[in-house]
Amino acid sequence: MASSIRVRATSTGDITEVQTLIQHPMDTGLVKDSKGELIPAHFIQQLKFECNGKDVFVADWGTAVSKDPYVKFSFKGAKKGDELKISWTDNKGGSDTTTAKIA
């Protein structure tokens, strides 16, 4: 299965810019479906970025993060070719992990 995580990590000088797009419904638990039944909450709670054995960015999310979440940040201390590990876990115990090479 294709990964739910799409990442672009580009390095300029000492700074690596990371853009991530994840496929996830991010259901709030407050919206009803076409039959009038509540769609249970289903959302990513934690998203972690690791590089060279160190956490570089950790996101804690609630249901107010948009469907198919996008996030962008930058960090120092990595170079081209280093690996960035991205993983998420959701409130139903689901998870996904991927790695991306910094370009």
Partner 1 sequence: MTTTPKPHWRPHPTRRLILQGATSVALLGLGNLPFAPARAAANDKYPEEAFRQKSEADAIKALYGKAAEPSDKVKLDAPEIAENGGVVPISVTTTLDKVTSISFFVAENPSALAASYRIPDGTIPAVANRLKMARTTKLTAIVEADGKLYSATKEVKVTVGGCGG
Binding-site ranges for partner 1 (CB under 8 A)? 15, 28, 30-33, 45-46, 54-67, 69-77
Shortest distance, CB of residue 63 to partner 1, whole angstroms? 7
Burial profile 90-99: b = 16 or more Cβ within 10 angstroms, e = fewer: bbeeeebebe
Give yes or no for a contact between 52 and 3, defined as CB atoms under 8 angstroms apart.
no
Amino acid at 62: G
Nearer to partner 1 by C-beta: 67 or 101?
Answer: 67
Nearer to partner 1 by C-beta: 1 or 33?
Answer: 33
Nearer to partner 1 by C-beta: 45 or 98?
Answer: 45
